């Protein structure tokens, strides 16, 4: 038993237990304290990453850590910590200071952390469920809010379908290879093709790629906004890490390329067109994340160093933009009666320049405008796709990016340029929200100008 | 010298930050003008120290930046870059001088213009494709907000249209950059965005044909070439005067600059292959835009169409594979920058005084604001290529060169210039001379119109004096252009 390999997970588990007991003992008024305390747990886990010796395996080789796992986990812990700092004020304002929130978030992080290291379908299954079930509960934790319950239920239903697909895929994998361990496999047969089909569907559902995206807009719309920042980034990050692992193993199969290409093309174009019809900014961002799922899937279409490193970089900066934009949204939502309708954003940028400018920077980053770091990710993806000679996919990416520019701009122009009295005056930021927002902004701008700060840590 | 170049580029950025921190309108105006003047003097100093006999990029500086991706912070100027750098520096002085009376959110206004200046100067001196693209795209953000905040009635529409169109082109450009970099990587085994490295690679024909189109789309939208031109009239009509000046004088040059800097030397075979296509689009732009200009009653829209027509001439000459034509094309970029800026300033002045751009609301203004009538006429003459002014030298060189290789195309292009004289004189007649159409009420109101003020004079004199200088003493400037031409054609 190699305890060193699971050091960060141990730190997380201890933190979770501690918070669990503190929640039992402490009164509701310590909610803020519990959250901030929980926010430090992933930071300690992050520090413990530096003491993990790689590569290492444990749990009968089902759990493996290498440099790429360390990268993914580091990013995951940062996200988790930032989300925890950003969410307490919102729940206090919404009168739902449930003490379960901090340790549920951590529990989900723990699941995802195990997920990133698993190279066995069984442990993958268990860890993804640990994370998903925590998130189902988290979404529903908004007192007296019908939408929150409804979206939790929708997410639960769709998530169960995903679980079923995941299980089916695993079964076929076992049928084809006689093992649950993910390893190179060269024979092309029906069972293996079925594995690819089902397993990719399950993962597509997790990253909300079309046609498995239906839960996304509803779940984002109803869920507590600061938590959306978490569920839109952390689980997806973990699933993409797995996708990259699978790409390196299985992308020599023609079926893999075809399925991934179809999923990504559908996601890009469907979501980018549908986003124009949205009146709710939260749904708009949900469709934006579906479109991005399409972009990211392109990076999993072909096994190539440049492509996968570009994907990881793109992903690594994208999550900060998403988290940051949902922090801004949740700050807006703290106002009484704010429902994220596009009309309510009119003039908000002028009334509240800091939040408005921050959100605009994130939106421009989504479009891919320098010096925001997402443009470097886009450039890297182009380079990878060109190198793999997937010109058509590269063109599709270009066209989809162009289509997407319009709805991001619409939001910016609504916030700043359109005339008319602003209905809402904007609200203040709590200390935790300011910190999260600042980290997101700085990382987006800094990594755009100096991508090597992140790029050198990306290893496959 | 390279350090000086870098200082010139980043000085506006620092001033923009200062403006954002201090937030005092008087301070913003003073520091903007001071910054742009300093940058202009640096540009002049660099220009005087430019050795046109030395056939390489000058005032270069190269700092390590993003080493894992082979990206360096590399700046330098050749003849064309120097000329456009000077033009940009001059135009921002003009724009800031013109804007001393801005009252609507002056701090934000000046900060955005300063950011824009950094981006524009950077584009003309970047020698690394990553850096080039960074400036190229970053330019969108300030310009978007300049149109969106200080525009007229349909400003939001125009700003969004400007952004989406330009982004449409530049994302293809990004793909083009990615493809040449990857080809360089396959050939040499290392990733590099360095301009010289990528220029010296022999690209296979198929890649040249693809990459030329990808780069070309990015540039064509900016030029703008027909049929990607429709954003320009809207953007110009809605933009504030200083925004129009920069848009016409500097931003439109980026596209043709890109053709000369990147497309011609990097994809020589493709540049020959696509000559019929480019010529067709250019001639359509020259004739169609000139005819559209004749049909306009909105003076800014008319000038915008005239810009499209003139830029068609530039793209035509750029690809005529002739020494003189390319010299003329680069000369035309500068000359058109000066003339269109002066025309937009005249139109902006008329709007400031009379609050209309429509010819139906105007007429006989020469009686009420005679000084403007003079500078307006001069600006127009620069544009239509009157001898002794900058436009003449440019058009002469272009026709001379194009006629040698492609006499038919040259003839058609020449007829476009006749149309140019027609629409300008028509506009001048309607706005300045024709008195019958205006009502007595307007006569009464206009009799108190204030003519050009000091800051208007400074702006006009700067632009028109440069046009005269370029018109009567073209030798040093042609030498500058030739510096680039020699690099493109070799020898």
Position of tokens 């570009």? A310
Q: Is A375 on the interface with B (CB under 8 A)?
A: yes
Among positive and negative, which fits the CA dihedral A274, A280, A286, A292? positive
Q: Is A451 on the interface with B (CB under 8 A)?
A: yes
Q: Is A253 on the interface with B (CB under 8 A)?
A: no
Residue A426 pLDDT exceeds 70? no
- Identify which of B140, B168, B181 has the shortest CB distance to residue A369: B140
B66 contacts in A (CB within 8 Å)? 450-452, 455
Residue A317 pLDDT exceeds 70? yes
Cβ proximity of A142 and A96 under 8 Å: yes
Q: Is residue A44 part of a domain?
A: yes
Give the ranges where B99-227 is alpha helix by DSSP (H): 106-125, 129-138, 140-150, 155-188, 195-199, 205-222
Residue A316 pLDDT exceeds 90? yes
**pLDDT tens column, B302-334:** 999 999 999 999 999 999 888 899 999 999 999
Residue A420 pLDDT exceeds 90? no
> Is A383's CB within 8 Å of B163's CB?
no
Looking at residue A194, its pLDDT comes to 92
> Is A379's CB within 8 Å of B178's CB?
yes
pLDDT band at A113 (very low <50, low <70, confident <90, very high): very high
Q: How many domains does chain B have?
A: 1
Cα A259 from Cα A267, distance rounded (Å) = 12
- Can you give the residue range of the structural domain that contains A300? 3-455
Looking at residue A434, its pLDDT comes to 93
**pLDDT tens column, B93-132:** 999 999 998 888 899 999 999 999 999 999 999 999 999 9
Q: Is residue B185 part of a domain?
A: no
Average pLDDT over residues B336-362: 90
Instruction: Show which residues on chain B lie within 8 Å of chain A, measured between beta carbons.
Output: 65-69, 130, 133-134, 137-138, 140-141, 144-145, 148-149, 155-156, 159-160, 163-164, 167-168, 171-172, 174-175, 177-179, 181-182, 185-186, 191, 210
Average pLDDT over residues A70-81: 94
Query: Which tokens sit at B315?
Result: 């793209």
Looking at residue B72, its pLDDT comes to 92
Q: Is A282 on the interface with B (CB under 8 A)?
A: no
The pLDDT mean for chain A works out to: 90
**Cβ-defined contacts of A169-174 (< 8 Å, 24+):** A169/A121, A169/A194, A169/A195, A169/A196, A169/A197, A169/A198, A169/A199, A169/A200, A169/A201, A169/A202, A170/A121, A170/A122, A170/A125, A170/A195, A170/A199, A172/A198, A173/A121, A173/A199, A174/A121
Looking at residue B491, its pLDDT comes to 58
Residue A151 pLDDT exceeds 70? yes
Q: Is A369 on the interface with B (CB under 8 A)?
A: yes
Looking at residue B435, its pLDDT comes to 81
Q: Is residue B260 part of a domain?
A: no
Looking at residue B445, its pLDDT comes to 82
Q: pLDDT > 70: what percent of chain B? A: 100
B392, containing H or E segment: helix B390-405
Residue of chain A with shortest Cα separation from B161: A406
> Is A417's CB within 8 Å of B156's CB?
yes
Chain-centroid distance, C-alpha A282: 15
**pLDDT tens column, A212-222:** 998 999 899 88
Cα A396 from Cα A399, distance rounded (Å) = 5
Residue B278 pLDDT exceeds 80? yes
pTM reported for the whole predicted model: 0.94
Looking at residue A28, its pLDDT comes to 83
Residue A440 pLDDT exceeds 90? yes
Residue of chain A with shortest Cα separation from B65: A450
pLDDT band at A166 (very low <50, low <70, confident <90, very high): very high
> Is A452's CB within 8 Å of B168's CB?
no
> Is A383's CB within 8 Å of B181's CB?
yes
Cα A415 from Cα A404, distance rounded (Å) = 18
**pLDDT tens column, A87-100:** 999 998 888 888 88
Q: Which residues contact A59 (CB under 8 A, 6 or more apart)?
A: A1, A6, A123
B149 contacts in A (CB within 8 Å)? 416-417
> Is B159's CB within 8 Å of A413's CB?
yes
Q: Is A401 on the interface with B (CB under 8 A)?
A: yes
Looking at residue B52, its pLDDT comes to 84
CA angle, residues A261, A266, A267, in degrees to nearest 5: 100
- Identify which of B138, B145, B179 has the shortest CB distance to residue A386: B179
Cis peptide before B381 (omega within 30 of 0): no
Query: Which tokens sit at B80?
Result: 């064309």
- By the 10 Å C-beta count (0-12 exposed, 13-18 middle, 19+ buried), B205 is classed as exposed
Closest CA to A77 of A17, A166, A12: A12
Closest CA to B121 of B87, B146, B170, B145: B87
- Determine the residue among B70, B156, B203 to mutate to test chain A binding: the one whose Cβ has the most chain A Cβ atoms within 10 Å: B156
> Is B182's CB within 8 Å of A387's CB?
yes
* CA of A402 vs chain B CAs: smallest distance (Å): 6
Q: How many domains does chain A have?
A: 1
Instruction: Count interface pairs A-B at CB distance under 8 A.
Output: 90
Q: Is residue B147 part of a domain?
A: no
Q: Is residue A367 part of a domain?
A: yes
Q: Is residue B325 part of a domain?
A: yes
* CA of B480 vs chain A CAs: smallest distance (Å): 31
Cα B125 from Cα B6, distance rounded (Å) = 9
- Identify which of B149, B167, B174 has the shortest CB distance to residue A382: B174
Average pLDDT over residues B186-196: 90
* CA of A442 vs chain B CAs: smallest distance (Å): 16
Average pLDDT over residues B175-193: 92
Cα B126 from Cα B112, distance rounded (Å) = 21
Average pLDDT over residues A138-152: 87
Average pLDDT over residues A279-286: 93
Average pLDDT over residues B460-487: 91
Q: Is residue A118 part of a domain?
A: yes
Q: Is residue B410 part of a domain?
A: yes
Q: Is residue A113 part of a domain?
A: yes
* CA of B200 vs chain A CAs: smallest distance (Å): 20
- Determine the residue among B151, B167, B176 to mutate to test chain A binding: the one whose Cβ has the most chain A Cβ atoms within 10 Å: B167
> Is B186's CB within 8 Å of A387's CB?
yes
Looking at residue A121, its pLDDT comes to 92
> Is A369's CB within 8 Å of B181's CB?
no
Cis peptide before B227 (omega within 30 of 0): yes
> Is A383's CB within 8 Å of B160's CB?
no
Residue B337 pLDDT exceeds 90? yes
pLDDT band at A109 (very low <50, low <70, confident <90, very high): very high
Cα A54 from Cα A399, distance rounded (Å) = 41
pLDDT band at A61 (very low <50, low <70, confident <90, very high): confident
Q: Is residue B364 part of a domain?
A: yes
- Identify which of B140, B149, B175 has the shortest CB distance to residue A382: B175
* CA of B10 vs chain A CAs: smallest distance (Å): 15
Q: Is A173 on the interface with B (CB under 8 A)?
A: no
> Is B69's CB within 8 Å of A405's CB?
no
Average pLDDT over residues A54-70: 88
Cα A96 from Cα A99, distance rounded (Å) = 9
**pLDDT tens column, B257-266:** 999 999 999 9
- Identify which of B163, B182, B191 has the shortest CB distance to residue A386: B182
A304 contacts in B (CB within 8 Å)? none
Q: Is A365 on the interface with B (CB under 8 A)?
A: no
A455 contacts in B (CB within 8 Å)? 66, 68-69
B450-476 burial code (b ≥16 CB/10 A, e <16): eebeebbebbbebbbebbbebbeebee
Closest CA to A284 of A371, A412, A398, A372: A412
**pLDDT tens column, B361-382:** 888 888 888 899 999 999 999 9
Q: What is the DSSP letter of A341?
A: B
Distances (CA, A) of A149 to A142, A156, A224, B239, B389: 8, 10, 10, 48, 74
Query: Which tokens sit at A287?
Result: 């469709």
Chain-centroid distance, C-alpha A156: 17
Q: Is A431 on the interface with B (CB under 8 A)?
A: no
Q: Is residue A403 part of a domain?
A: yes
Q: Is A292 on the interface with B (CB under 8 A)?
A: no
> Is A375's CB within 8 Å of B137's CB?
yes
Closest CA to A91 of A130, A24, A148, A170: A148
**pLDDT tens column, A220-264:** 988 999 999 999 999 999 999 999 999 988 888 888 999 999 999
Q: Is residue A460 part of a domain?
A: no
**pLDDT tens column, A129-143:** 999 999 999 998 888
Cβ proximity of B482 and B51 under 8 Å: no
Looking at residue B280, its pLDDT comes to 93
Residue B187 pLDDT exceeds 80? yes
Residue of chain A with shortest Cα separation from B145: A417
B68 contacts in A (CB within 8 Å)? 452, 455-456
Cα B272 from Cα A135, distance rounded (Å) = 60
A385 contacts in B (CB within 8 Å)? 178
**pLDDT tens column, B3-37:** 999 999 999 999 999 999 998 889 999 999 999 99
> Is A379's CB within 8 Å of B174's CB?
yes
Q: Is residue A56 part of a domain?
A: yes
* CA of A378 vs chain B CAs: smallest distance (Å): 9
- By the 10 Å C-beta count (0-12 exposed, 13-18 middle, 19+ buried), A305 is classed as exposed
Residue of chain B with shortest Cα separation from A399: B168
The pLDDT mean for chain B works out to: 91
Cα B320 from Cα A340, distance rounded (Å) = 55
- Identify which of B148, B155, B171 has the shortest CB distance to residue A401: B171
- Can you give the residue range of the structural domain that contains B391? 275-491
């Amino acid at each position: 038993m190699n305890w060193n390999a699971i050091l960060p997970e141990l730190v997380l588990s201890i933190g979770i237990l501690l918070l669990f007991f503190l929640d039992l003992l402490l009164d509701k008024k310590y909610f803020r304290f519990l959250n901030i305390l929980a926010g430090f747990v992933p930071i300690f886990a992050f520090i413990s990453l530096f003491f993990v010796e790689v590569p290492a395996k444990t749990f009968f080789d089902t759990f493996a850590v290498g440099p790429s796992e360390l990268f993914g986990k580091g990013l995951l812990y940062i996200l988790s910590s930032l989300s925890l700092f950003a969410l307490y004020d919102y729940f206090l304002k919404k009168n739902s200071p449930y003490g379960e929130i901090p340790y549920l978030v951590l529990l989900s992080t723990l699941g995802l952390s195990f997920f990133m290291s698993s190279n066995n379908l069984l442990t993958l299954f268990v860890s993804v469920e640990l994370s998903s079930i925590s998130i189902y509960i988290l979404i529903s934790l908004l007192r007296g809010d019908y939408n929150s319950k409804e979206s939790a239920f929708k997410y639960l239903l769709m998530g169960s379908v995903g679980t079923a697909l995941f299980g089916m895929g695993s079964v076929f994998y076992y049928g084809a290879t006689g093992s649950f361990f993910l390893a190179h496999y060269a024979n092309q047969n029906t069972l293996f093709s079925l594995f690819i089909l089902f397993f990719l569907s399950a993962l597509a559902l997790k990253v909300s790629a079309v046609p498995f995206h239906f839960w996304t807009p509803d779940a984002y719309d109803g869920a507590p906004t600061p938590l959306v920042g978490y569920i839109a980034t952390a689980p997806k990050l973990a699933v993409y890490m797995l996708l990259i692992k699978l790409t390196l193993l299985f992308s020599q199969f023609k079926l893999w390329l075809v399925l991934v290409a179809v999923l990504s093309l559908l996601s890009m174009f469907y979501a980018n067109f549908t986003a124009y019809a949205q009146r709710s900014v939260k749904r708009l961002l949900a469709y934006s994340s579906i479109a991005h799922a399409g972009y990211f899937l392109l990076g999993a279409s072909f096994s190539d160093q440049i492509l996968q490193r570009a994907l990881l970089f793109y992903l690594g900066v994208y999550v900060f933009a998403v988290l940051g934009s949902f922090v801004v949204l949740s700050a807006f939502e703290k106002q009484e009666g704010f429902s994220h309708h596009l009309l309510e954003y009119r003039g908000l940028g002028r009334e509240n320049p800091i939040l408005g400018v921050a959100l605009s920077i994130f939106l421009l980053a989504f479009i891919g405008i320098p010096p925001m770091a997402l443009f470097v990710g886009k450039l890297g993806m182009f380079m990878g796709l060109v190198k793999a000679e997937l010109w058509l996919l590269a063109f599709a990416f270009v066209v989809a990016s162009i289509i997407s520019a319009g709805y991001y701009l619409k939001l910016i122009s609504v916030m700043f340029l359109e005339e008319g009295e602003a209905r809402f005056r904007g609200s203040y930021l709590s200390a935790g929200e300011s910190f999260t927002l600042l980290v997101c902004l700085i990382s987006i701008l800094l990594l755009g100008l100096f991508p090597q700060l992140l790029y050198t840590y990306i290893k496959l | 010298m390279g350090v000086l170049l870098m200082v010139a580029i980043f000085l506006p950025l620092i001033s923009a930050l200062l403006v954002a921190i201090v937030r005092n309108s008087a301070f913003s105006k003073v520091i903007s003008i001071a910054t742009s003047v300093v940058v202009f003097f640096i540009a002049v100093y660099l220009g005087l120290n430019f050795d046109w006999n030395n056939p390489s990029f000058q005032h270069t500086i190269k700092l390590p930046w993003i080493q894992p991706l082979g990206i360096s912070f590399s700046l330098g100027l050749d003849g064309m870059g120097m000329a456009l750098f000077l033009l940009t520096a001059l135009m921002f002085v003009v724009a800031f001088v013109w804007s001393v009376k801005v009252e609507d959110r002056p701090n934000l206004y000046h900060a955005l213009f300063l950011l824009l200046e950094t981006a524009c100067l950077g584009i003309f001196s970047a020698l690394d494709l990553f850096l080039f693209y960074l400036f190229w795209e970053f330019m969108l953000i300030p310009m978007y907000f300049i149109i969106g905040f200080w525009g007229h009635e349909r400003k939001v529409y125009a700003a969004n249209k400007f952004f989406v169109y330009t982004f449409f082109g530049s994302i293809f450009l990004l793909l083009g950059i990615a493809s040449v970099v990857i080809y360089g990587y396959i050939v040499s085994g290392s990733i590099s965005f360095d301009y010289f490295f990528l220029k010296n690679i022999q690209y296979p024909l198929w890649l040249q044909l693809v990459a030329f189109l990808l780069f070309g789309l990015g540039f064509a939208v900016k030029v703008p070439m027909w049929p990607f031109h429709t954003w320009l009239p809207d953007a110009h009509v809605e933009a504030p005067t200083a925004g129009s000046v920069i848009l016409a004088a500097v931003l439109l040059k980026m596209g043709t600059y890109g053709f000369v800097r990147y497309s011609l030397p990097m994809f020589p075979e493709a540049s020959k292959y696509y000559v019929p296509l480019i010529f067709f689009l250019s001639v359509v732009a020259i004739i169609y835009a000139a005819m559209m200009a004749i049909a306009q009653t909105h003076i800014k829209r008319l000038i915008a169409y005239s810009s499209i027509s003139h830029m068609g001439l530039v793209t035509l000459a750029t690809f005529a594979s002739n020494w003189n034509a390319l010299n003329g094309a680069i000369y035309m970029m500068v000359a058109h920058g000066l003339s269109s800026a002066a025309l937009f300033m005249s139109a902006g002045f008329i709007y400031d005084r009379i609050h209309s751009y429509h010819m139906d609301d105007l007429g006989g203004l020469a009686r009420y604001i005679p000084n403007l009538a003079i500078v307006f006429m001069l600006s127009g003459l620069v544009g239509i290529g009157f001898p002794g002014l900058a436009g003449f030298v440019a058009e002469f060189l272009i026709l001379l060169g194009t006629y040698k290789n492609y006499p038919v195309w040259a003839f058609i292009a020449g007829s476009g210039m006749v149309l140019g004289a027609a629409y300008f004189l028509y506009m001048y007649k309607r706005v300045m001379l024709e008195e019958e159409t205006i009502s007595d009420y307007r006569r009464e109101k206009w009799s108190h119109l204030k003519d050009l003020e000091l800051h208007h004079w400074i702006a006009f004199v700067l632009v028109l004096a440069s046009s005269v200088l370029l018109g009567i003493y073209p030798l040093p400037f042609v030498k500058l252009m030739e510096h680039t031409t020699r690099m493109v054609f070799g020898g």
